[in-house]
Structure 1
Amino acid sequence: MGIKIYGMPISGCTQRVLAAAHEKNLDYELVIVDLRKHQQKEPSFLSLNPFGQVPVFQEGDLKLIESRAITRYIAYTYEGQGTPLIFKDNKQMAHLTVAMEIEAHQFESIAIKLAMELAYKGYMGLACDDAIVNEYEPKFAKVLDIYEAYLSKNKYVAGDTFSLGDVHHMPALQTLSGTKIKKMFEERPHVNAWREEILARPSWQKCMAMKKEFLEQ
């Protein structure tokens, strides 16, 4: 019963799942769904995810969509394998749950707006909308200030142990580190130290190597 991950190595949501899989040392097959060719809208893929989005995780007769749901499944199902990404202690797990909610609803909701304008539009040959950047930069600064205060007392987003909460941040941190937003990270020493450490993890470096190989094809 092999594992298949349907997605694209340049997709942030796919990268999130791949990073979790690498942390758990999972053997899997990556099935390329080329977003540039709109393969995610083809009937064969829509049978896996009717919303036409990557990634999709398949293990036997189990099919999962939504990257954060997939990473939670990986973390719980393979709890005793690879890097522990969740906690047995209920209080620690509660802090991790909060961290994951903050990532999804406070961090990513703003980061994706900036990433679209400062990174993805350029890749698609579209012009950046400066008005959107100017609107969301101060909002992101406020979020990063909250992170800076927390990370001044904790090494990671759910305490002093690397966890799934940190994995969830990796794609946006990587993308924005290639834009002028990197300066906003560097201006906050604890945020920057956290960013540099988690993006240097072997799991994430494997994701970046896969991305590079894909782009060079």
Structure 2
Amino acid sequence: MAIKIHGMPQSGCTLRVLAAAHEKEIDYELVHVDLKTGAHKHPSFLSLNPFGQVPVFQDGDLTLIESRAITRYIAYAYENQGTPLIYQDPLQMAHLTVGLEIEAHQFDPVASKLGWELVYKNYLGMQTDEELVKEYEEKFAKILDIYEVYLSKNKYAGGNSFGLADVHHMPALETLNGTRLSKMIDERPHVSAWCKDILSRPSWQKCLAIKNAAH
């Protein structure tokens, strides 16, 4: 098997890449990197990614880091198989690109901070900073309000067709949907419908099965 994805199934960035791979019906080998034991700081892993972060993607002689860069490569390199995640039409691609940028620069910084405080700190035996959560909840509510307006006119994050922007949202939405913040999603009907739609996709269900099996 030529394609290897080095990562940890509990890692949102790893799951983002796995979701893209499943959407494109790509066969791959998942190489487990145990972050809790510091495997990502071992010299053998640092030779793949000197920043010591997962995931790392290998396709033959090509080695890539950064989950969003990896998913874009997957979408382009395997464009002719599986689910279309990008578009030939310039207008469609423009809308998708905006969705990708909004996820990376507006949605994820807030969602990741909340996920860290409400989920991953508990996983690591650390204490949640409730004051910080309150601050970021307010930011998240404002972002969801903007999404609600957009999704009232568009079915997906990058237009009216499922695409790469939706894949990029999957891990953080899954994480927060399992916390007290789920009510913030449920209170916004268009956000809620979009969230249920993309998180019910077979690709994401396969990712969750891999994550649950790794516990």
TM-score (norm 2): 0.99
Match of 1:57 in 2: 57
Gaps of 5+ in 2: none
Matched with 1:76 is 76
User: What SS does the corresponding residue of 1:64 show, helix, strand or coil?
Assistant: strand
Distance 2:38 2:183 in 1: 34
Give the AA of the match of 2:74.
I
Partner of 1:194: 194
Map residues 99-118 of structure 1 onto 2, 5 A cutoff. Answer: 99-118=99-118
> Unaligned regions of 5+ residues in structure 1, if any?
none
Following TM superposition, the consecutive aligned residue runs of length 4 or more in structure 1 with deviations greater than 6 angstroms are none
Matched, 1:130 2:130: yes
Which amino acid letter does the alignment assign opposite residue 40 of structure 1? H
User: For residues 48-74 of structure 1, what are the alpha-carbon distances to aligned partners after superposition, in whole Å with 9 as ceiling and x for unaligned?
Assistant: 000000000001111000000000000
Separation (CA, whole Å) in 1 of partners of 2:179 and 2:56:
28
Alignment-mate amino acid for residue 47 of structure 2? S
Q: Partner amino acid for 2:63?
A: K
Query: What is the aligned partner in structure 2 of residue 34 from structure 1?
Result: 34
Counterparts of 1:92 and 1:160 in 2: how far apart (Å)? Answer: 9
What's the secondary structure of 2:214's corresponding residue? helix
The percent of aligned pairs where both chains have the same amino acid is 69
Indicate the SS of the match to 1:18: helix
- Partners of 2:24 and 2:112 in 1: CA distance: 26
Instruction: Name the counterpart of 1:44.
Output: 44
Q: Show the counterpart of 2:183.
A: 183
Cα distance in 2 for partners of 1:94, 1:153 equals: 16
Q: Partner amino acid for 1:75?
A: A
Amino acid at match of 1:159: G
Q: Give the partner amino acid of 2:8.
A: M
Q: CA deviation at 1:4?
A: 0.4
- The amino acid across from 2:69 in the alignment is A
In structure 2, C-alpha distance between the alignment counterparts of 1:89 and 1:140, rounded to whole Å:
32
Letter in 1 for 2:189: P
